[in-house]
Amino acid sequence: MSDTRNLLIEIGTEELPPKALADLAEEFHDRLTGYLFDLLESEAKTHFYYSPRRLAIIIENLPMQQPNQKVERFGPSVKIAYDEHGKPTKAADGFARSCNISINDLQKKDGKLFYATTHKGGLTVELIPNAINDALAKLSIPKRMRWGNNDAEFVRPLHWVVILFGKEVIDCDVMGVKSGRITYGHRFHHPDAIEIKNADISQYKNKLKQAKVWLNETADHEIQQFISERAKAEAKKINGIPLNSDRESDLVTEIAALVEWPHALLGDFDKKYLDLPREVLISVLEKQQRYFPVEDKKNGELLPYFIAVSNIESKDEKQVIKGNERVIVPRLSDAMFFWKTDKAKPLAGRLKELNGVTFQKELGTIGDKTGRIIRLAESIAQELGVNKAQVSRAAMLSKCDLVTDLVGEFPELQGIVGRYLAKNDQEPDEVAQAIEEHYRPRFAGDELPKTKTGQILALADKLDTLAGIYGIGQQPTGAKDPFALRRAALGVVRILVEEKLPLSLFELVKSAFEIHGNMVKDACHELEIFIFERARGYFLEQGITANGVESVLAERPTRLDLIPARLEAVASYSHLPEAPSLSAANKRISNILKNLDHIPSGFDESLFKEKEEKALAKEYLKLKPKLDDLYKKQKFTPMLQELAILKEPVDAFFDKVMVMTDDETLRNNRIGLLNDLRQSMNRVADLSKLVT
């Protein structure tokens, strides 16, 4: 008998939620294999698969038994374990009972009672049922459902369970369903039972494919590639290109989780629906129907066609196409009705309606939020010298599309619908564009607002949310971030840095709190720290060294747009031969100063006695005006390079001068010099952070 076998687990269900299916399958795999591998001390090769009606895992060459476990325990000391007559005490008796052996079988080691034994490893077949049930119970499923008469809960009802360890069925119960070797193919093409004889990968996949079930496997993306190719082939018939049809796209991934046997079909719709805004038409086709929209290969305009991916291979494709075409008409008709209705009322006429929509119960309505955005946006516009009236108008209209029928039907189009309606109302182009842009960046890697008005609105909106939620003490904790504050903070960082906006972060945060009327010093400080944490992550992702990022952020620069220049200066400084010595001296100064209750300000050059301190003071005072001028001109790289001049006098000072002398006047003067020197050295970055 072999020491290892393949393990096949398949959980058969009702149709699973397509958007979450890939993540669900991966989490099931990770939890189950993590559980088993921990117990078996194994790292076997694994595979996980999924289709609309199943989650499956195959583990190759899984050990049939746990390794033997060596157990060693120390008990009480021998002096405590036996009395003066050599008889066992209660301590010895208790230790023996806890080990389930006689006192006479205990050993002595290092002056203590000692117990050693080897536990034989358990059989893998006995571990598997609990591993499956434990993994299923712990899956991250927001809403579980119950079915039948049992108490089992899962994302969808279970219908069958296959558990094969080699050729052997592991007999157990999974959520009220008895395990076996019977699976099922395509619901329509092959509804009959299929017997799986062993846990061989090829046999399992081939049997299902013969039964018209094409398994998703994240390692090869085979079904996604097929869907992508077939969609492009259908679109080619009309000289078109299907949107979002690359195999890695979310749409292809979702369709692959919806169908077991994909078959692409080309359908069409009335040209009048091309009058809908492009994004609305795409949302109807993609979000509501999971169809591929098609655009003209030459000019990129949408065509009155779509590509549906059917789950059946019909003998009469025309009927299937007609069915899909019939289904889409009411969807498009509704969208057209909403569009015409929304256009009939100007955006500005919807402002009062925002007072009836709650933003957050303690922070008022969307109307209240709009008022705050206007004030903060106007303040930022004035600071940047941007058209204040235009910014104010865009801010006033920024949330008005939230009460339109189209956004009610397609929430993901907020801002986009506002842009179209603003253009319909003949608002200035930059105002219309800013209404859409102020939601950006909506996700990691998303585009930033291109217009200055859009950038200002985006900052005002995000800062208002951040200050408001922090002001009422509902900061994000752990995985919970219902108001997406992390995303908002990162958006603020990216806009300030990448668009090079010369604005003080601290003044922006302060203004946002003041406009809320809940200026809380602690909350304000906490929010600044929160934003700096996002900045830290942002710059680390750019490939900047951790020491470099820490050194710059330690000085809490008020203008984030200047951080890249500071980081560049630190990188250049780090390559100087004098840098290690200067940074070490800087750290030494920091260590001296942090232990003092009082740090004198300034120093008197005439009070110094040692030639080394006189030389350092003279060299520093000579260099300081140049450092100040370079810093004022934001020439950070040459400023840090100038510090190289101080290496020799700084080294000589620390070699020959005792800072903490008994002479109080002299001591304070030396501390004043070091403090002044450190402040000048650290205006760009805390150089002590560069010392590892």
The contacts of residue 581 (CB under 8 Å, 6+ apart) are 647, 650, 651
pLDDT tens-digit readout, 437-474: 999 999 988 999 999 999 999 999 999 999 999 999 99
pLDDT tens-digit readout, 482-527: 899 999 999 999 999 999 999 999 999 999 999 998 766 688 999 9
Could you tell me the CATH number of the domain that includes residue 577?
A: 1.10.730.10
- Angle at alpha carbon of residue 490, lines to 487 and 492, rounded to 5°: 110
For tokens 């501390």, name the residue.
Answer: 671
Q: How far is CA 162 from the centre of its chain?
A: 35
- 550 within some domain: no
Secondary structure of residue 199 in the 3-state scheme = coil
**Residues 50 and 192 placed together within one structural domain of the fold:** yes
Domain end, chosen from 210, 245, 260, is at 210
**Residues 292 and 365 placed together within one structural domain of the fold:** no
Biggest CA-to-CA distance, the chain: 105
Predicted local confidence at residue 487, as pLDDT: 96
Secondary structure of residue 289 in the 3-state scheme = coil
Predicted local confidence at residue 1, as pLDDT: 40
- 579 within some domain: yes
Please tell me the pTM assigned to this model. 0.84
Secondary structure of residue 150 in the 3-state scheme = coil
Parallel, antiparallel, or unpaired: how do β-strands 158-165 and 177-180 relate? parallel
Burial of 351 (0-12, 13-18, 19+ CB in 10 A): middle
Instruction: Report the distance separating Cα 652 and Cα 260, nearest Å.
Output: 77
Predicted local confidence at residue 521, as pLDDT: 67
- 558 within some domain: no
**Residues 581 and 684 placed together within one structural domain of the fold:** yes
The contacts of residue 185 (CB under 8 Å, 6+ apart) are 191, 192, 194, 208, 210, 211, 212, 213
Predicted local confidence at residue 520, as pLDDT: 64
Q: Which domain holds residue 268?
A: 222-343
**Residues 430 and 522 placed together within one structural domain of the fold:** yes
Could you tell me the CATH number of the domain that includes residue 432?
A: 1.10.3210
Predicted local confidence at residue 478, as pLDDT: 78
- 215 within some domain: no
Question: Buried b / exposed e across 288-311, counting CB within 10 Å, b at 16+?
Answer: bbebbbbbeeeeeebbebbbbbbb
**Residues 502 and 575 placed together within one structural domain of the fold:** no
**Residues 179 and 257 placed together within one structural domain of the fold:** no
- 430 within some domain: yes
Predicted local confidence at residue 626, as pLDDT: 97
**Residues 372 and 476 placed together within one structural domain of the fold:** yes
DSSP state of 190: -
Burial of 279 (0-12, 13-18, 19+ CB in 10 A): middle
Sign of the CA dihedral with 171 first, then 173, 178, and 180 last: negative
Assess contact for 304 and 270: CB atoms under 8 A.
yes
Domain end, chosen from 188, 210, 232, is at 210
| pLDDT averaged per 10 residues in sequence order, the chain, 692 residues | 85 94 95 91 89 96 86 88 88 90 88 85 90 94 87 93 96 94 95 95 95 89 94 97 94 95 97 97 96 96 97 91 96 97 97 96 96 98 97 98 97 97 97 98 94 98 96 86 94 98 97 84 89 96 95 96 97 95 94 90 92 96 97 97 96 94 94 95 96 80
The contacts of residue 86 (CB under 8 Å, 6+ apart) are none
Number of structural domains found in the chain: 5
- 269 within some domain: yes
**Residues 360 and 465 placed together within one structural domain of the fold:** yes
- 365 within some domain: yes
**Residues 682 and 635 placed together within one structural domain of the fold:** yes
**Residues 227 and 288 placed together within one structural domain of the fold:** yes
- 217 within some domain: no
Predicted local confidence at residue 343, as pLDDT: 97
Helices in 554-663 by DSSP H: which ranges?
563-574, 579-594, 611-632, 636-642, 647-656
**Residues 479 and 598 placed together within one structural domain of the fold:** no
**Residues 648 and 528 placed together within one structural domain of the fold:** no
Domain end, chosen from 294, 311, 343, is at 343
Stated length of the chain: 692
Over its C-alpha atoms, the chain yields an Rg (Å, rounded) of 35
